[in-house]
Amino acid sequence: MLDTISLLIIVPVIFSILFVALPKSLYKILAWAFFILGVALSVKLVMDGTGVVPVPESNFAILENIVFVLEVLVILFILAVSLKYKNWPTLGLGIISAAIFGYTYANVHGAEGAAFNIDQFSQIMILIVNIVGTAIILFATGYMDHYEEHRHLNRQKIFYFTMSFFLAAMNGLVMADTLGWLFLFWELTTLCSFVLISYNMDEEGINNGFRALALNLVGGIAFSIGIVLLATNYEISTLSGIGAYAGTNATAMAAVALPVALLCIGGFAKSAQMPFQSWLLGAMVAPTPVSALLHSSTMVNAGAFLVVKLVPAFAGTNLGTAIALFGAFTFVMTSALALSQRNAKRVLAYSTIANLGLIIASAGIGTPLAVAAAIMLILFHAISKALLFLCTGEIEHTIGSRDIEDMSGLINKAPLLTMLISLGMISMLLPPFGVLLTKWVTMEVASSNPIVSIFMILGSALTTVYYVKWLGTILSTTMDKNAVHHQKPETYFPLSFLGLCIVATSILVFSIYDAFIKPQVATMLNIAPSVTGAGGQFSSEIGTFAYALIFIVIALAILIYYATKNMFAPRMSSYYLCGENSLEKDRLMFRNGLCAYDKSSASNIYLQNVFGESKLTTLGYVISILLIVAALAGGVL
């Protein structure tokens, strides 16, 4: 198994070097090869089974030195760029990070060995990172030329290098058990994110890149203080060690609460939870494949991943309740903010933060079923959100805008693309798809805490509203077909592949649960959730989600539609515009009161003056910071 683990880190690094070494004309072949290898390696890891894999002692010393050198390089890089661009807050945070690193190196007794921990959760993350991730890189080969052409850029070597290198770091992050190594991978993903956000090298990109870097450094500092506390006070140097130490023992849980809370804050920053959310919104200036890969399906999940891994250390405690409240609050707040946005990428960014909040909330609830829901939501959300982001990018190339209002009539211009993005949206808000199933589980498990469940109920209604609005807009017809649309295999293959993944994972939801989630929760909390899957129903002790029934009824509805379609021969007619149509110009033109011609139009409701960013953001900051302080206070007391 160690071979597969090392390959999962080495192969992406090799590809990142290949992308730099080889000419642009070979990128498509490289990306296909990377995709196939990524699928093969991640499947291989799943086949290898689970277990803790220690690094052989003979290699440990060398690897530890490599880790040390890389950590120093990371810090030097941060200091250098912040000096170069005179970004003093980032420089200050970099110096603090360096000081903590120096302190750790000098005073904290280093670990004797290192290990990778491959559990079912890591396997799921590896599958997401290497299958969805490489599919996104494949999409990028059909996307970036057009993107750069518009912006007069020529930095694709840096783009592919960083994207591939990021996959290596992300693979390391989800597999590493040693906290020191985990932290290195954590910081490496932050750096990749910084490089890719400032990809356009304009003022906006660089500023937003620094904001992401600074906020993630804040999280990183909390993370590293947590590591130092764990190592000096409890001699814990592995992630699995925290859970093992806390066990189900209330006193031990209370003892490690403060470092655990600090690690969670690191996770909140990475997952762009409420006081940190601005970096993810700023990150939307990056090319769409970056948003799909780092800022929705993989890197931001690392924060939620960490919080879920820490569940054994806070399940059932006050800290857990504070985390649940915090996540649920972020969910409702960012869902409200998403409602007021017209920019599709911002809607998706807020929706990503909201869903990560939901994951963190279910982790905070900490019952076996809640943890199962959290892990499943990470999986389903990653697939749906990757598809939504990539489709948005492709829409932008098709119609030249990412404003939702400009997307009306898309079904006429790019039918396949519209079907795919509709599938993505429907999977986010309606049964029988996986995201809704996990949302349903989350709402049911949250119901023993009324405040958390009220937050979730409001957030869920808001989610329905902002997606239905968008869905209706792209499916509406405005009859003009003037957009030129190119269908390239390297863009449409990843899109269709992700669409198929959504349907397949939703149909196989119970098998996925049985194979991955159930054993994972059983090892984490010593009890498996009591869920049965008989007859295509996902049933727990408090409710039943009949997903197979819905799939059957959808099939039935399609059948009924096609059976009855020919009974009523359709006759196309024009819009009803109160008899004032002007058909010779455009079917939406009408004659107004001055006998001139006007084009009729209608737009969606955004409630800017209620849910707008200027109205809600400050409130969000205040309450979320209070909740974090409460979580920390809960940790100390």
Partner 1 sequence: MNSFDILKIVLVLIGAPILGCLIAGIDRKLTARLQGRVGPPLLQPYYDVVKLFKKDNMIVHPAQNFYVVIYVVFVILSLLMLVFGMDMLMIIFVYTISSVALIVGGMSTGSPYARVGSSREIMAILSYEPILILYALAIYLLTGTFKLSALSTLSSPLLAYIPLIFISMLFVMNIKFKKSPFDYSTSHHAHQELVKGMLTEYSGPGLGGIEIGHFYEYVFLLGLMFMFWSSNIIIGLLLAVIAFLFVIIMDNITARVYWQWMLKVSWSILLIISIANILIVYYFYFKPA
Q: CA 188 from chain center: how many Å?
A: 17
C-beta of 121: minimal distance to partner 1 in Å? 26
Q: How far apart are CA 462 and CA 267, in angstroms?
A: 25
C-beta of 52: minimal distance to partner 1 in Å? 34
User: What is the b/e burial string over 155-173, where b = at least 16 CB atoms within 10 angstroms of the residue's CB?
Assistant: ebbbbbbbbbbbbbbbbbb
Nearer to partner 1, 191 or 589 (CB): 589
Nearer to partner 1, 134 or 442 (CB): 442
Cβ 238 vs Cβ 115: under 8 Å: yes
Nearer to partner 1, 138 or 588 (CB): 588
Phi-psi region of 568 (alpha: psi -120 to 50; beta: other; left: phi over 0): beta
C-beta of 84: minimal distance to partner 1 in Å? 48
- Write out the residues near partner 1 by the rule CB under 8 A: 408-409, 411, 429-431, 436, 440, 443-444, 447-448, 450, 453-454, 457-458, 460-462, 464-465, 468-469, 471-473, 475-479, 541-546, 549-550, 553-554, 556-557, 560-561, 564-565, 567-578, 588, 600-605
C-beta of 477: minimal distance to partner 1 in Å? 4
Q: How far apart are CA 173 and CA 182, in angstroms?
A: 5
Nearer to partner 1, 79 or 549 (CB): 549
Indicate the pairing of strand 115-118 with strand 538-540.
Answer: unpaired
Cβ contacts of residue 263 below 8 Å, gap of 6+? Answer: 222, 223, 226, 227, 306, 310
Burial of 49 (0-12, 13-18, 19+ CB in 10 A): exposed
Nearer to partner 1, 58 or 573 (CB): 573
- Facing residues of 116 across strands? 53, 176
Nearer to partner 1, 254 or 443 (CB): 443
C-beta of 561: minimal distance to partner 1 in Å? 4
Taking Cα atoms as reference points, which of 375, 467, 398 lies closest to residue 428? 467
Amino acid at 515: A
Nearer to partner 1, 291 or 460 (CB): 460
C-beta of 426: minimal distance to partner 1 in Å? 8
* CA within 13 Å, CB half, 298: 36
Taking Cα atoms as reference points, which of 319, 411, 406 lies closest to residue 360? 319
Nearer to partner 1, 489 or 535 (CB): 535
Q: How far apart are CA 511 and CA 513, in angstroms?
A: 5
C-beta of 602: minimal distance to partner 1 in Å? 4
C-beta of 393: minimal distance to partner 1 in Å? 23
Nearer to partner 1, 206 or 429 (CB): 429
H-state helical runs in 176-249: 179-197, 203-234, 239-246
Nearer to partner 1, 181 or 611 (CB): 611
C-beta of 408: minimal distance to partner 1 in Å? 7
Cβ 205 vs Cβ 195: under 8 Å: no
Question: Residue 481 belongs to what H/E stretch?
Answer: none
C-beta of 575: minimal distance to partner 1 in Å? 5
Cβ contacts of residue 27 below 8 Å, gap of 6+? Answer: 19, 141, 156, 160
Q: How far apart are CA 371 and CA 116, in angstroms?
A: 22
Nearer to partner 1, 36 or 479 (CB): 479
Cβ 325 vs Cβ 318: under 8 Å: no
Nearer to partner 1, 318 or 476 (CB): 476
C-beta of 544: minimal distance to partner 1 in Å? 5
Nearer to partner 1, 113 or 472 (CB): 472
Q: How far apart are CA 526 and CA 367, in angstroms?
A: 11
Nearer to partner 1, 142 or 434 (CB): 434
Burial of 488 (0-12, 13-18, 19+ CB in 10 A): middle
Cβ contacts of residue 187 below 8 Å, gap of 6+? Answer: 71, 74, 220
Take residue 247 and report the two structure tokens written for it. Answer: 């066990």
- Write phi, then psi, for 337 (nearest 5 degrees): -65, -40
Amino acid at 140: A
Q: CA 362 from chain center: how many Å?
A: 16
C-beta of 632: minimal distance to partner 1 in Å? 27
* CA within 13 Å, CB half, 367: 16
C-beta of 472: minimal distance to partner 1 in Å? 3
Nearer to partner 1, 141 or 418 (CB): 418
Q: How far apart are CA 323 and CA 368, in angstroms?
A: 16
C-beta of 436: minimal distance to partner 1 in Å? 6
Q: How far apart are CA 319 and CA 307, in angstroms?
A: 12
C-beta of 541: minimal distance to partner 1 in Å? 7
